[in-house]
Amino acid sequence: MDVVHIVLGAPKFEAIKPLIKEDGIVIGVDRGALLALEEEIQVDIALGDFDSISADEKEFIQTNVKQKLDFPSDKDDTDTELAILYVLKHHPDAEIYFYNWYGGRVDHLYSILLIALQERFEQIIPRLHLISDKNNISYYLPGEHRIEKIDHMDYLSYILLTEVENLTLNELKYELTEESYKRPIALISNEFISNEASFSFDKGIVAAIQSKD
């Protein structure tokens, strides 16, 4: 299966390169392309409107990436959405990992966190992963799931993005059995009791967040 790493352009609070654990295609989104290149990450595709960088930085990106795709500033899709659309067209079965996705403007952060609720992206919900040093987010559709604990991340939270039916949480400090919720809710700060946890639900979309202080 293909792997695509998408580096976004939020203000950088942590190094990106150590977070990329697998080989794959790297897409730099707007300033994210510059941030990746500064860490000597090979960028395959740089895309966006590049309205947040200087002319010299644009030239640096142009010189150092394999392909640069320019879009106008006035457009219906965000640069992040354009990156996902590119992946859907060219790597439709890929696992998709996002980096440098938080910090800066809260509206940008919300638009990224809620990507999974867009109907056009429904097919890739189980393959969306937001990666950082302190928080990792993955998205789930109804069914039975197992989560492997990430080293040094003791906390596991479930964010119910929609109405959710018959949610069961097992192998955690605080367990739950077939609870249903009519509205989105955050069930936060649960804790692993071993190296794995399991959960299931019958309807809705759930984000699972592994975190550390």
Distance, CA of 137 to CA of 147 (rounded, Å): 11
The predicted-structure confidence for 72-114, as pLDDT tens digits, reads as follows 988 899 999 999 999 999 999 999 999 999 988 899 899 999 9
Nearest to 149 by CA among 197, 186, 190, 187: 197
List domains and CATH numbers for the chain: 1-133 (3.40.50.10240), 134-213 (3.40.50.10240)
- Stretch 125-138: mean pLDDT: 97
Per-residue pLDDT, averaged over 29-46, amounts to 97
Average pLDDT over residues 105-131: 95
Mean pLDDT across the chain: 96
The pLDDT tens digits for 2-18 are 999 999 999 988 999 99
Task: State mean pLDDT over 115-134.
Answer: 96
Q: Express each pLDDT in 171-195 by its tens digit.
A: 999 999 999 999 999 999 999 999 9
pLDDT at 158 over 80: yes
* Amino acid sitting at position 45: I
pLDDT at 24 exceeding the cut of 90:
yes
Per-residue pLDDT band for 41 (boundaries 50, 70, 90) equals: very high
What is the reported pLDDT for 51? 87
State residue 77's pLDDT score.
94
Q: How far is CA 152 from CA 14, 107, 136, 156, 212, in A?
A: 16, 29, 12, 12, 7
- Residue 68 pLDDT: 97
- Number of continuous H segments (helices) and E segments (strands) in the chain: 4, 14
Which pLDDT value is given to residue 44?
98
Of 114, 86, 112, 118, which is closest to residue 99 (Cα–Cα)? 112
38 vs 8: CA distance, rounded Å: 13
- Nearest Cα residue to 187 out of 165, 206, 212, 170: 206
Helix (H, G, I), strand (E, B) or coil at 79: helix
Cβ atoms of 81 and 114 within 8 Å: the answer is: no
Residue range 54-71: mean pLDDT, rounded: 96
- pLDDT of 198 above 90: yes
- Amino acid at the residue 125: I
* Range 162-168 average pLDDT: 98
Reported as type and span, the H/E element at residue 96 is strand 95-99
| 1 pLDDT above the threshold of 90 | no
